[in-house]
Amino acid sequence: MYSRLKRELVIVINRKKKYKLIRLMVTVGLIFSQLVLPIRRLGLQMISTQTKVIPQEIVTQTETQGTQVVATKQKLESENSSLKVALKRESGFEHNATIDASLDTESQGDNSQRSVTQAIVTMALELRKQGLSIVDTKIVRIQSSTNQRNDITTTLTFKNGLSLEGASTEANDPNVRVGIVNPNDTVQTITPTIKQEADGKVKNLVFTGRLGKQVIIVSTTRLKEEQTISLDSYGELVIDGAVGLSQKDRPPYSKPITVNILKPRLSSIESSLDSKDFEIVKTIDNLYTWDDQFYLLDFISKQYEVLKTDYQSAKDSTSQTRDILFGEYTVEPLVINKGHNNTINIYIRSTRPLGLKPIGAAPALIQPRSFRSLTPRSTRMKRSAPVEKFEGELEHHKRIDYLGDNQNNPDTTIDDKEDEHDTSDIYRLYLDMTGKKQPLDILVVVDRSGSMQDGIGSIEKYKYWKYKYDEYYHIWRNAGTIYFDNYLGPRYQPDTYTYYDYQSKESVPFGIKRDQAVKDALIGSTGLLQKFLDINPQNQLAVVGFQGSVAYRYYDEKPERTPWNTIMYQPSKSTSKDADVLKDWETSSNLSRDSLSYEDRNGTNYHAALLKADEKLQKVANNGHRKIMVFISDGVPTFYFGADNYRSGNGTVSDSNIINSQKGSKLAIDEFKNKYPNLSIYSLGVSKDINSDTSSSSPVVLKYLSGDDYYSGITDTEQLEKTANKIVEDSKISNLTISDTLSQYVNVYDEQPDILVTRKSKKTGAIEIVYKDNRVTEMGRDIIEGVSFTSEKSGNSTGKVTLKFKPDYKIDDEYTYTLSFNVKASDKAYEKYKDEKGKYTVEGDVDTDYNGNQTSSGKGGLPSNSDASVNYMADGREQKLPYKHPVIQVKTVPIMFTKVDADNSQKKLEGVAFELRKADKKTVWEKGITNSTGQLEFNYLQKGKTYYLYETKARIGYTLPENPWEVKVDSKGKITVKHPIEGDLSSKGETYTIKNHKIYQLPSSGGRGSQLFIILGSMLMTTTILLYRRYNYRKKMDKTSL
């Protein structure tokens, strides 16, 4: 019994020992097997740059359309008659993976094509951020069955070469980019390695990234902010710099743009905006863009102005009228069934000296340019020409003061020594304006035709034809037309030998004669001429009279048959007496009343009047005075000078004569206004029917001469007097504003703008403050309304500062008004400076430095404003005086890095690539590669900014750090460099040393080392399983024996 118990106890003890041993072996086996995979992966990662794997090829039986596909563990290849594609991935592909690729061709209306077009748009926007625009595009479509899509090296080989316009392989500036279109339609942009053939075609192209459904291959060029397109004699068009101009055929996938310039037809004289009254005179059909929209920035012309704009996208069936030419235009790809490009129709006509603006025309002269791009100064000055006004009206200057020069500025405390502000990139802008008593030259042109003897007004009367009985022949004869005040029935017979037949009720001339009304309005102590002299005694006056004689003969004449089969002798331009000088230029209002009297039996010759006006204006052309012409008539022209320089027309108001005289007069008006683009013209029509549509009294030519807004139809003396007074008042300068549209390179310094408006006496030099601390002072209450700042989100401006005077405040020459405020260089300024590699392409205009300042005039820099001007009303028109353009500079902070071996600091590492990224850790600010001494310098860091330094390519045999270094620049320019593991980096001066560790060598991936780990782990696991099964078997046997 005892021995049996002893035996069982020994069995139990041994069983427990075996159980512990088995548990220990199982645990060790499991742990060892779990370590095999991560150790193998670590070995792969650390030796991947040095190990070349010779894969085992598996040839599949898939062959589609002559394409043979070879799949391997680490490589896929596909080849057809024009293209070979090879994919490589270190961790391999599935054994049954397939790949196919083909060059795409453009089509319209296809859904896949639309997705490609949208992908190009996405890529174009991404390249725009890098300062690039697309020149040409090719598409490769990818079809694959692999699920492995990351870290793939793709090689595309074009057997016949790939034509890609503008492609360049220059090491300093490669301009080919690849866009990988992912399944979610996002685009990854990569700079590939390319090889070109002798003819410039791309032979092969290599890049590493994701495997997408399409590959977009583009050539690029530096993005221009804007570009100018010639319209021949019609002017220039300024468009978005991303718009391309094709020299041959439009690039595939691009969106075509057509611009049509239309002028009024010769047969159209009225201020019509009906499209049928215009004809195309210029077409530009070689424009294209890759974006969803483009911007039209400006129309520049000294001879033409824009009336309206129609736009029709490629998918629209009809065009839409736009309120303003400038701005954004949405473009669409070509659609087959529409048959037209994205088309802009720009309707223009000859420049109106008075700025004729029919309904729908854009007020281009002082309209703020929300989409105006910043341009070099030389271009800007040329662009200002169409709106430039007389310099003598107002003295105005724009100047700049650099606040970081340790010279105390009296108008702000920001640069005081006790202030803590860093002023290294802060400036103060000054915009001033002084009125001047500049004389005016006023030319009055007066109609003296026979109809000027009629009454200026009208009255309703009853028209009857009078008949008298001829007793000799015993018949009734027509004795003319009689107007009665009352209706006398259909037939009125006051006696046996007389009766009247009723015809109609009509409006007939009534009241003071027209020439008499004109005399009263012009002459005398309260007349228009004297009122102009009351404004300024130095104003000069001249008067011209015109008509169209049909009664007397001239020495040099041309016989012409009239509709009545008679001969009329027409004078030439040189011998015509249809216009006379009634008063030559002088500073007196004296004028004989008789000189303004009508000439009986005379027609109307506008052409002769304009020729005589030209003579008078030539005499005062260069005196610098602002000039006004007042043109007074009671009807339409009935004479004009033809192409042979002889007079045409017959003086009557027949339809045919009116039509011909209108055409001839229109040509004369065009020539006159082109010669005097800055002349302000008012036209006055004095007639009972002047505002009607009758052929004899239509105001169409008068309106064409001055413009609708500056034409007045006068039907009574009171209205004539009011109009004359308005012309006088309009000549005064009023409604003043000073506006400064800041460029994208400066911001109003919100922390302390110190906006100030002062008034300085020219006599005493005393300075009065009219605006300070965001409010109008007591002194400025009757002078200005206030100062405003409007923030703008456009790419070319950060906002606009505007000083607005009281509408009725009349400027004089006794004071100088100055608006000043602080600005700070923007992030865009630093980015521009960095992109230009520390160079400036623009110089400040002359006389743009504040007292003692030397940073702008003739110095390189960045423009402080995109558009600054004095805006005001004069002659009833909006006027604009552009300011000159100061510039700013930026001061960047440099930093130097030295890359060394971690174990031997004397060993400098060459060829290590770095990217210095902005705070978002994505946007690359600068990048570079260490030189032979291991050094790399970044020159364009900005104060107050944080950057992250990424090592993007390690030297062979060295590890590639996963974490970036944080580079922080404080407001004073002090730099600290910190790594999340290594901590703060030490420096010598401005040079920081970065150590690099060598790669730890493990067995090669797929070699004997990894195989040994796998075999040992497998043996341990197998042994553990066998022991465990044996243990279970013994346990069952023991139970059975008991």
Q: Looking at 825-916, list the stretches that DSSP marks H as alpha helix, in order from N- to C-terminal side.
A: 827-835
Poorest-confidence range of 293-307, 397-411, 593-607? 293-307
Angle at 1025 between CA 1019 and CA 1028, to 5 degrees: 140
1030 vs 298: which has the higher pLDDT:
298
487-503 per-residue burial string, b: 16 or more CB within 10 A, e: under 16: eeeeebeeeeeebbebe
Poorest-confidence range of 265-279, 325-339, 980-994? 265-279
Could you tell me the CATH number of the domain that includes residue 961?
2.60.40.10
Contact 631, 617 (CB under 8 A): no
Cβ-Cβ contacts under 8 Å for 1040 (sequence gap 6 or more) = none
- Name the amino acid, one letter, at 183: P
What is the per-residue pLDDT for 296?
87
**Strand-pair category, 202-209 with 475-484:** unpaired
The percent of the chain in helix, strand and coil, each rounded to the nearest 5, is 20, 40, 40
Contact 514, 454 (CB under 8 A): yes
Q: Which of 338, 332, 335 is nearest to 318 (CA)?
A: 338
Assessment of whether the complete model's pTM goes beyond 0.75 = no
Q: Is residue 469 part of a domain?
A: yes
| Reduced 3-state DSSP string for 898-928 | EEEECCCCCCECCCCEEEEECCCCCCEEEEE
Range of the domain at 965: 893-996
896 vs 511: which has the higher pLDDT:
896
Could you tell me the CATH number of the domain that includes residue 804?
2.60.40.740
- Tell me the mean pLDDT in the region 61-66: 36
Counting DSSP H helices and E strands in the chain, the numbers are: 11, 63
Confidence of residue 1042 (pLDDT cuts 50, 70, 90): low
Contact 484, 464 (CB under 8 A): yes
Number of domains in the chain: 7
Same domain, yes or no, for 28 and 126? Answer: no
Poorest-confidence range of 14-23, 194-203, 693-702? 14-23
Could you tell me the CATH number of the domain that includes residue 567?
3.40.50.410
Q: Is the pLDDT of residue 266 over 70?
A: no
Same domain, yes or no, for 179 and 250? Answer: no
* pLDDT, tens digit, 9 for 90 and up, residues 730-769: 777 788 999 999 999 999 999 999 999 999 998 899 999 9
Task: Look up residue 277 and give its DSSP letter.
Answer: G
What is the per-residue pLDDT for 553?
59
Contact 941, 972 (CB under 8 A): no
Task: Look up residue 663 and give its DSSP letter.
Answer: H
Question: Among the three residues 364, 384, 402, which one is the final residue of a domain in this structure?
Answer: 364
Q: Is the pLDDT of residue 1028 over 70?
A: no
What is the per-residue pLDDT for 565?
63
321 vs 337: which has the higher pLDDT:
321
600 vs 899: which has the higher pLDDT:
899
Give the C-alpha separation, 684 to 673, whole Å: 18
Same domain, yes or no, for 122 and 37? Answer: no
Q: Is the pLDDT of residue 384 over 50?
A: no
Same domain, yes or no, for 456 and 468? Answer: no
Q: Is residue 370 part of a domain?
A: no
Q: Is residue 416 part of a domain?
A: yes
Six-digit token pair at 101? 């690729």
Average pLDDT of the residues of the chain: 81
Give the C-alpha separation, 377 to 399, whole Å: 15
Same domain, yes or no, for 916 and 810? Answer: no
Other C-beta atoms lying within 10 Å of the C-beta of residue 170: 7
- Name the amino acid, one letter, at 773: D
Contact 611, 573 (CB under 8 A): yes
CA 360 to chain centre: 20
Q: Is residue 382 part of a domain?
A: no
Q: Is the pLDDT of residue 389 over 90?
A: no
What is the per-residue pLDDT for 836?
92
Same domain, yes or no, for 111 and 243? Answer: no
987 vs 345: which has the higher pLDDT:
345
Poorest-confidence range of 170-184, 527-541, 811-825, 880-894? 170-184
* pLDDT, tens digit, 9 for 90 and up, residues 615-674: 999 999 888 888 999 999 987 899 999 999 999 998 888 888 888 999 999 999 999 999
Contact 469, 494 (CB under 8 A): no
Give the C-alpha separation, 606 to 627, whole Å: 20
Q: Looking at 341-376, list the stretches that DSSP marks H as alpha helix, in order from N- to C-terminal side.
A: none
Order the strands of the 865-874 sheet from edge to edge. 784-791, 799-805, 734-742, 865-874, 877-882
Same domain, yes or no, for 494 and 407? Answer: no
Q: Is residue 62 part of a domain?
A: no
**Strand-pair category, 626-633 with 440-447:** parallel
Give the C-alpha separation, 580 to 582, whole Å: 6
Question: Among the three residues 888, 922, 952, which one is the final residue of a domain in this structure?
Answer: 888
* pLDDT, tens digit, 9 for 90 and up, residues 709-739: 788 877 666 777 777 777 777 777 788 999 9
- Tell me the mean pLDDT in the region 264-280: 69
CA distances from 979 to 106, 442, 676, 827, 894 (A): 50, 77, 70, 26, 19
Q: Is residue 34 part of a domain?
A: yes
- Tell me the mean pLDDT in the region 829-846: 94
Other C-beta atoms lying within 10 Å of the C-beta of residue 891: 13
Same domain, yes or no, for 984 and 1025? Answer: no
What is the per-residue pLDDT for 131?
82
Question: Among the three residues 323, 348, 364, which one is the final residue of a domain in this structure?
Answer: 364
Give the C-alpha separation, 32 to 42, whole Å: 15
Q: Which of 32-36, 567-571, 957-961 has the highest mean pLDDT?
A: 957-961
Contact 528, 724 (CB under 8 A): yes
**Strand-pair category, 57-64 with 498-513:** unpaired
Contact 103, 140 (CB under 8 A): yes
Q: Is residue 848 part of a domain?
A: yes
What is the per-residue pLDDT for 473?
86
Give the C-alpha separation, 802 to 825, whole Å: 20
For residue 617, the surrounding DSSP H or E stretch is helix 606-619
Same domain, yes or no, for 1015 and 940? Answer: no
Same domain, yes or no, for 533 and 637? Answer: yes
Confidence of residue 251 (pLDDT cuts 50, 70, 90): confident
What is the per-residue pLDDT for 172?
65
Same domain, yes or no, for 431 and 444? Answer: no
CA distances from 153 to 193, 208, 218, 276, 480 (A): 11, 4, 18, 59, 103
What is the per-residue pLDDT for 1?
47
Give the C-alpha separation, 209 to 156, whole Å: 13
Q: Is the pLDDT of residue 59 over 50?
A: no
Q: Is the pLDDT of residue 1040 over 70?
A: no
* pLDDT, tens digit, 9 for 90 and up, residues 802-814: 999 998 887 778 8
Q: Is residue 375 part of a domain?
A: no
- Name the amino acid, one letter, at 890: V
Same domain, yes or no, for 564 and 675? Answer: yes
CA 1012 to chain centre: 69
Task: Look up residue 524 and give its DSSP letter.
Answer: S
Order the strands of the 965-969 sheet from edge to edge. 924-929, 913-917, 946-953, 965-969, 975-979, 983-984
